[in-house]
Amino acid sequence: MKQVYLSLGALVRNVEHYVQEWLTFHRLIGVERDGESLLGVVAIPALGETAWAAKGTGAWYESPRFDGARRAGVSDCRTLAEGLFLTSEVATFGKIGRTDTYAKLEQTARLSRTWGDAYGYFLVATGRAELMVDPLLSPWDAGPLLVLLEEAGGRFTDWNGGRTVHGGNGVGSNGHVHEETLGLLKSTPTGP
């Protein structure tokens, strides 16, 4: 029997974001079968933007900035020193004893911001950021990300480089800065 896993995002936290009127409140849908991500949708209702992908069909993107859907694609930036690094919350690096890791990423990147959660990965998939790193990431939050980023030309792995939404953490990139980022993650000491 084949296993099908449907991710509907972190509903409780998203309700909190909605109530607080965050512009990056998002809806997530991810479909996985037998460990393979098949479908991913990230919608940012307040911005009127949606990105989606199905394995083998490419990634697509809609925005009020243009008519209709167009192909989503990652940036061509080749190094983190030229790129934008995003994370959901700086404090989560401290929660796992990896504040040095955050500092190293921030120091290496041209620019860093905390436009996080799914919105950070959304920005990577649509070519507006090069890297999104989450020290703590649940499968229901990561569900749509692997297929969306891969179909947009990027990569999504856990911190060990495993191609999974079940790793407990996440690295989403334009692909060009991925190995550089994994090297930085491995070069900083682990916490308690």
Q: What is the pTM of this model?
A: 0.89
Residue 192 lies in a domain: no
Residue 175 lies in a domain: yes
What's the domain count of the chain? Answer: 1
Residue 122 lies in a domain: yes
Q: Which of 37-46, 70-79, 135-144 has the highest mean pLDDT?
A: 70-79
Q: Give the domain range for residue 110.
A: 4-187
pLDDT tens digits, residue range 5-49? 555 544 444 444 444 455 667 788 899 988 899 999 999 888 899
Which residues, in sequence order, are CB contacts of 192 under 8 Å at separation 6+? 97
Contact between 51 and 122 under an 8 Å Cβ cutoff? The reply is: yes
Domain CATH for 151: 3.40.190.80
